[in-house]
Amino acid sequence: MQKGKLWILGLVAVFVLTAAGESYFEVNKNLELFSSFYKELLSNYADPVDQEKVVKSGIDAMLASLDPYTTYIPESDMANYKFQTTGKYGGIGATVRDLGDYIVIAEPYEGFPAQKAGLKAGDAIISIDGTDCKGKSVDDISHFLKGPAGSIINITIQRPGQKDLLSIPLQREEIHLNAVSYAGILDGQIGYIRFTQFTDNSARDLERALNQLKKENSAIKGWILDLRGNPGGLLTEAVDVTNLFVPKNSSIVSTRGRKPSSTKMFKALNEPFDENTPLVVLTARNSASASEIVAGAIQDLDRGIIVGQRSFGKGLVQTTFPLTGLRAQVKITTAKYYTPSGRCIQALDYSHRNVDGSVDKVADSLKHAFQTMKGRTVYDGGGIEPDAAVTAKEYSQLLSVLVAKNLLFEYATQYVLNHPVIGSVKDWQWNKIADLEQFLQTRSFTYEATAESEIALLEKKAKENGEQELLEELKAFKASLHRSLHESLQENKSELSELLSTEIASRYALQKGRFQNALQFDADIKEATRLLKDKSAYEQLLQLKK
């Protein structure tokens, strides 16, 4: 019973912390209700009660009525939470993915134990320290691979193309993922930086990358800060990142919540790295939170232009609180944040749920107009709208199926076995459609478009109902839609070339090779580069529309 009491004490702490200014009568009444219910459940339920599981379910149900960012972090998840905020963990430095009976190495990180020990993408993890890994999940294997820096781990792998198993000892290290996953100079004059996370000291990573590019070319004419796919992180790091490009004392973001202590203004405290060189920030639908703080500030201060797609729309701020007596924490939404012009870009209104529990986006009719420093009109309630929109690439159903079934990943592994070198990855392009078709045939791959699948269901119902005329019509329609695998691959060869070029390039030059190769296909980067090279077009986007 002691364990159950401990959980309740933790819940009491949460209620008391959040009850300031509220009616203590209501708080105590609800706590008494929860405590009485819990006590009766433990005393009278027919079977033994897993107390930890029951209380965890109760907490999850409580939080489900709020927003998805207010979460309980049990002790078992603290390591993952630490990684999200610091970018550090103890492990071997590799991503893994599910592929059949075994989890395989997806990509080793350059300079860390996995890469130094010779692990390669496609290596199947057969066992770890003698534990059979067949049927284990990605989470299981990730847990096994992590551990204190300096500890030894023995991994047995099956390498594609080799008959014998390989036993590889590795010494775990503290893995620190640099927030800058790639930096380079485009067209000899544009500094490009892929920025992937807002963790501790990520702004410092960015500043180092900026300085290095400036050393390589002191005459850089423009910067591209790529925040696509960046889910955000620490608000303070977003402020420091923005500070690298805006004048000292500039207002960057403010927060406002129910408690007076959550109302704050964050300004640029330092002299910037570069406040004058033209700047483009790339955003996409999965750019969120801290990414949107940076993009919103750059846009509102008219420091640069936003290119790409509308961002995610997360304008909520979370604060983490320890639970008394427990090695666990709760992360609570304590405020909303506002860009320098005063807008909150939160897209979903979690405070007003529908009867079925669903949440609606803020309607266009409810959005408000704000002005940037130069008087340009921007809007709240739905993410950061780009100044120069680029249509997001939508891949075909065929490619989605091939990716979901890991067939392109497997093909890339086989391709590397048959091609020891490919030359420079920067401009290399894959174009062996016939080779891919042959590989898919060996995997007995069949492709059926969504329309054909739906027709098959209609045919089944028509047969059951004896509707012969309808069956004939469906048969004719299906024949008109049918495409052979050969025809489908030919129709999608451009997209296939893009995906396989970058995947295969990563096998020879890891993440750096992936990003270098992908640049040649990237419509957002091409548009950003065009605007930075065309001073008139760039400046026109920063002017008031007449």
172, 91 in Cβ contact below 8 A?
A: yes
Structure confidence at residue 27 (pLDDT) = 81
Q: For residue 314, indicate whether it is catalytic.
A: yes
Dihedral (Cα; 535, 539, 545, 546), 10-degree rounding: -70
Residue 169 lies in a domain: yes
Question: Where are the alpha helices (H) located in 111-220, listed in sequence order?
Answer: 113-116, 138-145, 202-216
Least confident window among 76-80, 153-157, 404-408: 76-80
On whether residue 220 sits in a domain, the answer given is yes
- Amino acid 12: pLDDT: 44
Tell me the residue type at 4: G
CB of 41 within 8 A of CB of 53? no
Confidence at 479, pLDDT banded by 50, 70, 90: low
Single-letter residue type at 63 = L
Whether 14 shows a pLDDT value over 50: the answer reads no
Is residue 80 domain-resident?
Answer: no
Segment 307-334 mean pLDDT? 92
Q: Final residue of a domain: which of 391, 423, 438?
A: 391
- With DSSP H G I counted as helix, E B as strand and the rest as coil, what are the percentages for the chain, rounded to 5? 40, 20, 40
102 or 59: which leads in pLDDT: 102
Look up the domain containing 491 and give its range.
393-546
- Is residue 98 located within the same domain as residue 51? no
pLDDT, position 323: 87
pLDDT, tens digit, for every residue of 19-50? 444 566 788 888 888 889 889 999 999 999 89
The answer to the question of residue 70 being in a domain is no
181: in domain: no
The confidence score (pLDDT) of residue 395 equals 87
278 domain-assigned: yes
One domain, residues 431 and 466: yes
Q: What pLDDT score was predicted for residue 361?
A: 85
* pLDDT(105) > 70: yes
**Final residue in a domain of this structure, among 391, 422, 439:** 391
Does the annotation mark 57 as catalytic?
Answer: no
The pLDDT value recorded for residue 2 is 45
In terms of domains, do 163 and 284 share one? no
pLDDT for 423 equals: 86
Catalytic option among 181, 202, 314, 488: 314
Q: According to the model, what pLDDT value does residue 22 have? A: 54
Do residue 200 and residue 285 come from a single domain? yes
Domain check: are 200 and 311 in the same one?
A: yes
Query: Do 220 and 304 sit in the same domain of this protein?
Result: yes
Average pLDDT over residues 354-380: 88
Res. 481 pLDDT band, cuts 50 70 90: low
Same domain, 163 and 216: no
* pLDDT (0 to 100) of residue 52: 84
What is the number of domains present in the chain? 4
**Which pLDDT belongs to residue 9?**
41
Average pLDDT over residues 415-440: 94
DSSP state of 245: T
Instruction: Inform me whether the pLDDT recorded for 375 exceeds 50.
Output: yes
- Assess whether 322 and 446 both reside in one domain: no
Q: Please state the rounded mean pLDDT for residues 94-103.
A: 95
Domain boundary among 391, 424, 450: 391
How does residue 11 score in pLDDT terms, banded at 50, 70 and 90? very low
Query: Rounded mean pLDDT of the chain?
Result: 90
| Region for residue 483 given its phi and psi (left: phi exceeds 0; alpha: psi -120 to 50; beta: otherwise) | beta
Q: What is the pLDDT of residue 471?
A: 80
Q: Are residues 371 and 405 in the same domain?
A: no
pLDDT of 7: 43
Share of the chain above pLDDT 90, in %: 69
- Domain presence at residue 125: yes
* In a shared domain, residues 172 and 206: no
Same domain as 136, residue 34: no
Confidence of residue 133 (pLDDT cuts 50, 70, 90): very high
The per-residue pLDDT for 452 is 62
In this predicted structure, the answer to whether residue 315 has a pLDDT above a threshold of 80 is yes
Residue 433: the pLDDT is 95
Query: SS3 letters for 180-247?
Result: EEEEEEECCCEEEEEECCECCCHHHHHHHHHHHHHHHCCCCCEEEEECCCCCCECHHHHHHHHHCCCC
CA angle 283, 289, 293 (to 5 degrees): 75
Concerning whether 76 is annotated as a catalytic residue, the answer is no
Residue 269 CA, chain-centre distance (Å), reads 29
Which residue among 289, 291, 341, 488 is the active-site one? 289
In angstroms, how far is CA 183 from the centroid of its own chain?
19
Identify whether residues 463 and 513 lie together within a single domain.
yes
**Token pair belonging to 403:** 């990716």
pLDDT tens digits, 278-293: 999 999 999 999 999 9
The 10 Å CB-count burial string (b at 16+, else e) for 277-300 is ebbbbbbbeebbbbbbbbbbbbbb
pLDDT, position 185: 96
Label residue 4 by pLDDT band (50, 70, 90): very low
Task: Please report the pLDDT score of residue 191 as a whole number.
Answer: 98
Question: Any idea what the CATH number is for the domain that residue 100 is in?
Answer: 2.30.42.10
- Of 300, 380, 522, 524, the catalytic one is 300
Q: Identify whether 522 is part of a domain.
A: yes
Using one digit for the tens of pLDDT, what is the confidence trace for 144-167?
Answer: 999 999 999 999 999 999 999 999
CATH assignment at residue 344: 3.90.226.10
